[in-house]
Structure 1
Amino acid sequence: MFPIAFDPIYKYPVQQTHRFPMDKYELLPVQLLREGIVEKTDFFTPQPIALQPVYAVHERDYVDRFVQGRLSPKEMRRIGFHQSPLLAERELLITGGTVQGALMALQTGIAFNIAGGTHHASYDHGEGFCMINDQAVAAQYLIDHKKAQKVLIIDLDVHQGNGTANIFQNRNLVFTFSIHGKNNYPFRKEKSDLDIGLDDRTGDELYLKTLFEILPGLIGQVKPDFIFYQAGVDILYTDKIGRMACTLQGCRQRDQMIFQLAKKHGIPLQCSMGGGYSAELRTILEAHANTYRAAADIY
């Protein structure tokens, strides 16, 4: 099948009032195994990332203060979590899983992280429940270790990948591409290499048409030898904060398009799951499971 990072510390140490449906991190692997989409041997427990690769994309002072639990109350309010050693440990595990998965994808063609997609983490600060930008760390890691020469980051979460754009704004070996809700968070957007902002209530037809018209040509233009894909499912019409109007089928077609293009061009791909905040947990699980179903069909 394909390698999937799954860390055992699946629950963030947060208060119950947070709207993040954290149980998806535990339940999604169960769903995938039940359906036979993957096998137990496809899952791997990541190792925490060393700090040196994190320093390559984040300010050292910020990283050290986060890991040591020394961020200010104002900084933590911007992130949205309470500071704790477990929170730092899990963020390093998530990032380690994305880096390890990327290295595995060089051999298998594709790899996943059940968590990840922490695209709001910028060079010198965290925000929006993101502290270390897992795909940014992994992209720079591949470049620094001569595993890739040109990386394309495709961010299809409903929220712009502002942190990723901030980190790579002056680094031409990583091309950042984001399709997002133009009126949604973050309300002050960063500048990706290519940004497409869509109106509220955009549905399947326009969303898929936009992606289909842009992505094949973009791959030809950028000529990446590795792709990172942020596969947020908060574009669904059922999402509590997404403000889009895509269906489960449309979301699955989106994923199929990404995977088909990557495989057609022989480009290894690492996928992190990103956001999803529908009112019913089963809808979130179904949407995320569809991403794996699409990959199983193509790979």
Structure 2
Amino acid sequence: MRSLDHVVLPFASPAHARTTFETLGFTVAPDAVHPFGTGNTCVFLADGTYLEPLVIADPVAYRNAKVAGNRFVLCDAAFRPGRRLPAISALGLRSSDAVADREALAAAGLADDQLVDFSRDFTTDGGEASILSFRLAFAHTGIDRDLTLFVCEPRHGSAPDRTLLTRHANGAIGLKRLVLSDAARPAVTSVRQALERPTVEKAEDRIDPAADLANVGLEFHAAPALADRFGIAPAPSADRAAMALGLIFATPDLTRLRACLDRGAVSVHEMVGRLVVPLGLHSTFIAFEEP
């Protein structure tokens, strides 16, 4: 089974991203810039997953990368128009060999031809500097404009120590589940089948479309169920449909969490033992549950 590596959330500005997550009690990494004009202010979690709030850091480099056909930039540029940011635009799955994964996707008719290789500077909260390198391969699913699915292979020799960055005032220790639109189910299932097929022993075996990833659960819901389960109203009809709707974090102490959110004057409501926070003006949300 594949594991989730990270979740991409486009924001309008680095300041907005940083303020949003710090107000929620998360520790936010120092700002970083990609060579193709995007930048991020990442939130790292103790379970090894992370959030990538993504911004346009260098408009000229971004525009040039778009003209050159950089797949990562093209996906971001296709997602932003008509959205109330922040919203969830992409899911990155862990990979140990992005080239092999692209071949597996190609065999299923789901591969984008381009690989994206890049390096960027990384500075820990303790001031340690290093260079991180990655290779990305993208799935072509038909819902790319609304949710990009890709694999992410780390190419650096060793990862920096992120321990300090994984300690959060709200107590969050990891991502527990992803909440997706029912309309995303076929694309997610197809990509998982393509990437996980080499591990299936019998040809007749099929991957359960509702099954979890190796490290994160998946929930698929029609829009009306959001109100009953999470107290979240669907996006206005004028907005483009969201394929990825919510992030559910594991937090051992909801009392501590509520105190943290109260200090930040965060609007929160409780639904069946979980605390739910709307993310911006969209139907995107963040929820917290005990493990």
Q: TM-score, normalised by structure 2?
A: 0.31
The structure that is strand-richer by fraction is 2
The structure that is helix-richer by fraction is 1
Larger Rg: 1 or 2? Answer: 2
Q: TM-score, normalised by structure 1?
A: 0.30
